[in-house]
Structure 1
Amino acid sequence: MLLLLLNSRNLPYPDPLHPIIVHFVIAMVFFSVFCDVVGHITGNFKLFEVSFWNLLVASVSSFLAIIFGQFEAGLAQPYEVVKPVLNLHTIIGWSLAGLIVMITALRYVIRIRNLKKISTAYLGIATILIILVTFQVYLGTRLVWVYGLHIEPVVQAAKEGILQ
């Protein structure tokens, strides 16, 4: 019965929602780190407040991205070649969500202690976060543009058993 409710992209709604939500998270994380770096360099401590709130919203939104990602991955009917990339993307996604929350908590502690200063050690941690997010973006991009998850011709080929 459920299969009758899925469209040609193997989804119960017109387009995948995971990429929309996850791009929001990516932008919030990148903008947060950007604000911290610029605030650190220029001494404009108001940017630290912008950074914290962006990171807080990214923390909450990352779990929405995971929920839709898990749901859509379950409907994707991945073929064998895709599974290792999808599994790695899933593991890193969950890990990143936890890491973003931990960094947000650290950022909150830094914010409480001193609103006008941020340490270079924190900026180093934020740089590692940016690298991990960038790698996750790479994996997600491969899932769509190389392996064609939720792309109509690939979904059709999987349904017909052409892809194994």
Structure 2
Amino acid sequence: MPLLTLNDQNLPYPDTLHPIIVHFVIGMVFLAYFCDITGYLSRNHRLFEVSWWNMVVASVAVFFAVIFGEFEAALAQPYPAAQPILDYHTINGWSLSAILVALTAWRGVIRVKDPLKVPVVYLGAATLLMCLVCLQIYLGSLVDWVYGLHTAPVVKAIKEGILP
């Protein structure tokens, strides 16, 4: 008898959790970026505080997203055509986690030194983070919408040997 009973999506629970957590993180990172840019342009330092706390919570939540992503990827049984995109999505996800935490730490140092200002260099690094997040969104969309990992028809096709 297997240790985990898997449903028709090859999961031990009703639906994928990784996308739910990831969308939470994406929303927080986008809001933090928007608040930093808007706060910089409008000189409204209160937005820097909103940005800071969004980055802190996103930095914690991103590791739950990665953990569930790894767990669900292991259960997905990706077929050969899907494997390179899933690998790239995984590597980018781990990299984004590290970059997000590093930027949050840097943002914390900036906040301690002068909570009323954010340097342009930081905003440039945050812009790079946003570009990587957009790439990750694209890769995640491919994994789900193009390759259909954890969708019932693809799981069924893999189990029946239709997909190698």
> TM-score normalised to the size of structure 1?
0.98
Residue segments in structure 2 that go unaligned for 5+ positions in a row: none
- Which aligned pairs between 1:95-134 and structure 2 lie closer than 5 A? 95-134=95-134
- Could you list the per-position Cα deviations for residues 80-136 of structure 1 after superposition, in whole angstroms to 9, with x for gaps in the alignment? 000000001101100100000000000000000101111111110000000000000
Contact kept in structure 1, 2:92 and 2:136, CA below 8 Å: yes
Q: CA RMSD in A?
A: 0.9
Residue segments in structure 1 that go unaligned for 5+ positions in a row: none
Residue 43 of structure 1 corresponds to 43
DSSP 3-state at the match of 1:5: coil
In the alignment, structure 1 residue 146 sits paired with structure 2 residue 146? yes
- Could you list the per-position Cα deviations for residues 59-86 of structure 1 after superposition, in whole angstroms to 9, with x for gaps in the alignment? 0000000000000000001000000000
Residue 65 of structure 2 corresponds to 65
In the alignment, structure 1 residue 135 sits paired with structure 2 residue 135? yes
Residue 20 of structure 2 corresponds to 20
Q: Could you tell me which amino acid in structure 2 is paired with residue 132 of structure 1?
A: L
How many aligned residue pairs are there? 164
User: Quick one: distance in 2 between partners of 1:76 and 1:134?
Assistant: 23
User: Quick one: distance in 2 between partners of 1:125 and 1:4?
Assistant: 42
User: Quick one: distance in 1 between partners of 2:2 and 2:38?
Assistant: 50
Structure 1 residue ranges (4+ consecutive) displaced by more than 2 angstroms after TM superposition: 1-4
Q: Could you tell me which amino acid in structure 2 is paired with residue 155 of structure 1?
A: V
Give 1:2 deviation, angstroms. 2.9
User: Quick one: distance in 2 between partners of 1:130 and 1:31?
Assistant: 11
User: Quick one: distance in 1 between partners of 2:110 and 2:3?
Assistant: 50
Identity of aligned residues (%): 59
